[in-house]
Amino acid sequence: MPVYDYVVIGGGTAGSVIASRLTEDPDVRVAVIEGGPTDVDREDVLTLRRWLGLLGGDLDYDYPTTEQPRGNSHIRHSRARVLGGCSSHNTLISFKPLPGDWDEWAEAGAEGWDAASMDPYFARLRNNIVAVDEKDRNAIARDFVEAAQKAVGVPRVEGFNQQPFHEGVGFFDLAYHPENNKRSSASVAYLHPFLDRPNLHLMLETWAHRLELEGTRAKGVHVRTKDGEEIYVEAAREVLVCAGAVDTPRLLLHSGIGPKTDLEELGIPVVHDLPGVGENLLDHPESVIVWETDGPIPENSAMDSDAGLFVRRDPASNGPDLMFHFYQIPFTDNPERLGYEKPEHGVSMTPNIPKPRSRGRLYLTSADPAVKPALDFRYFTDEEDYDARTLVDGIKIAREIAKAEPLAGWLRREVCPGPDVTSDEDLSEYARKVAHTVYHPAGTCRMGAADDTGAVVDPQLRIRGLENIRIADASVFPTMTAVNPMIGVLMVGEKCAELLAEATTPGGEA
């Protein structure tokens, strides 16, 4: 039976950071259990511009959603099955979470996770976070930036991570190497330089299917290799669950850690009654408005969605409350289902809800670990209809931007929803039915105060009521960051590594 000091389950975004930091100490032995293969020498994975080709393929766990009566029931949630996790197939848009995001976490009981305390972890990140390179800045994206300034009256931002902002339009920062368009993913930045460390043991294409506990103490994990071999891997110090916002609660539930009655109904022996597991499912849904362009547009770009806009409609809001990605492609996957055509040449703006109010839930439908969990995001179900109204406002703002020069000169006509769709009711219906995800599920093992019975982990990321086991990934987010979450996840990884170091220092951890 292999024994390591730490067993990291999931070599994804946060897991790569933690494994890298732990193995800086040559005396600490770490195993990483990763469901996917390596990304080393995989040009299809490492080339940022090829990200769309990875979705739905062999390297995607590809989770469906349950029926969404007020939204789009056809949304599929891509989750990467490869070293580096979702940072190996995402678009690497890199935003340091805004101060209001962290402070909201602290207010929700995550003591020590306020903005001032979290700031140093951003400086530690090993990823190459740079502004979209000049050569990658497409002419039409530049003109979107200029038109949005005029139409919406927001400032142009060069370097969104330089200082906190409420509003602004500009090119994003990306975690990439502009000279060759290669990713600076979690695996590239945190694992590739250290693969020869003798104390780092990667178990690739190996699936963790059940945690082993002795009473309330986590001991290890049962895994299955690609060849079907069953292995039990033991952790002398701690088990770190970093399988992401879908697979972390899934693993906990299959291990008997979760809401007692749900587990009993499925015949899963209850090991630890923890009602919060799978609750608080968050996402950043967005809609889409598409224009046909007057002929082809230049092809240069970092990854086709290089610029964006943040708006604060409510001055009382402590951050942006509406966001747009600008796509240099006609993104009609969902509208086509409603009968819309795909123009040969076109662009899209995608109004997005930074702080959505709807809350969903992840749950099991079978005791068989091979059956995918149900993801019920309950999109657009918040009581005040805030989420849908945000998208309606977004479409109206998008139309104003499209009318402004220099963008207007590129656009031939609005394809979806089309100029005849104008009432709030019709815009809402369209916006919700074609809504898609930008793949930000989070919150399903949320962090909270140690005495918060709905929380899954405490502010030290320890699973409440258990010992020697922590969670570090997007599932611990108490609330959604207003900005794209990957940098927040990397910072969770850095903070977890520090908490682990403190825990081994006598008297170091509360």
By annotation, the residues acting in catalysis are 440
User: Residue 119 and residue 142: Cα distance in Å, rounded?
Assistant: 31
Candidates 31, 378, 484, 495; binder of ligand FAD (CB under 6 A) is 484
**Does 75 contact ligand FAD by CB under 6 A?**
no
Closest CA to 117 of 106, 131, 108, 130: 106
Closest CA to 33 of 270, 192, 245, 247: 247
In the bound state with ligand FAD, the residue whose beta carbon lies nearer, of 19 and 208, is: 208
Binding to ligand FAD (CB under 6 A) within 38-67 occurs at: 55
User: Residue 497 and residue 201: Cα distance in Å, rounded?
Assistant: 17
DSSP character for 274? Answer: -
In the bound state with ligand FAD, the residue whose beta carbon lies nearer, of 60 and 143, is: 60
* Contacts with ligand FAD, 427-466, as mask; x by CB under 6 A: ------------xx--------------------------
- Measure Cα distances from 470 to 8, 23, 374, 402, 445 in Å: 10, 18, 24, 48, 11
- Determine the interface stretch with ligand FAD among 238-246, 373-381, 382-390, 397-405 (rule: CB under 6 A): 238-246
* Contacts with ligand FAD, 208-227, as mask; x by CB under 6 A: x-------------------
In the bound state with ligand FAD, the residue whose beta carbon lies nearer, of 136 and 393, is: 136
User: Residue 209 and residue 243: Cα distance in Å, rounded?
Assistant: 11
- Determine the interface stretch with ligand FAD among 74-82, 267-275, 291-299, 457-465 (rule: CB under 6 A): 74-82
In the bound state with ligand FAD, the residue whose beta carbon lies nearer, of 91 and 460, is: 91
**Does 148 contact ligand FAD by CB under 6 A?**
no
In sequence order, the 6+-apart residues with CB closer than 8 A to the CB of 119 are: none
Residues that contact ligand FAD, how many (by CB under 6 A): 40
Alpha-carbon torsion (488, 182, 440, 468), positive or negative = negative
Are the CB atoms for 248 and 241 separated by under 8 Å?
yes
User: Residue 475 and residue 463: Cα distance in Å, rounded?
Assistant: 12
Q: How far is the CB of 384 from ligand FAD (least distance, A)?
A: 27
Candidates 6, 22, 34, 334; binder of ligand FAD (CB under 6 A) is 34
Instruction: Please give the backbone phi and psi of residue 310, each rounded to the nearest 5 degrees, phi first.
Output: -120, 135
User: Residue 280 and residue 275: Cα distance in Å, rounded?
Assistant: 11
Binding to ligand FAD (CB under 6 A) within 81-100 occurs at: 81, 85-87, 89-93
- Measure Cα distances from 124 to 30, 105, 110, 406, 495 in Å: 21, 21, 21, 40, 10
**Does 200 contact ligand FAD by CB under 6 A?**
no
**Does 330 contact ligand FAD by CB under 6 A?**
no
- Determine the interface stretch with ligand FAD among 148-156, 230-238, 242-250, 372-380 (rule: CB under 6 A): 242-250
In the bound state with ligand FAD, the residue whose beta carbon lies nearer, of 92 and 154, is: 92
Is 489 annotated as belonging to a binding site? no
Per-residue DSSP letters for 4-51?
EEEEEE--SHHHHHHHHHHTTSTT--EEEE-SS---TT-HHHHBGGGG
**Does 473 contact ligand FAD by CB under 6 A?**
yes
- Determine the interface stretch with ligand FAD among 75-83, 113-121, 271-279, 446-454 (rule: CB under 6 A): 75-83
3-class DSSP state of 244 = helix
Binding-site ranges for ligand FAD (CB under 6 A): 9-15, 33-36, 55, 78-81, 85-87, 89-93, 207-208, 242-245, 247, 251, 439-440, 473-474, 484-486, 489
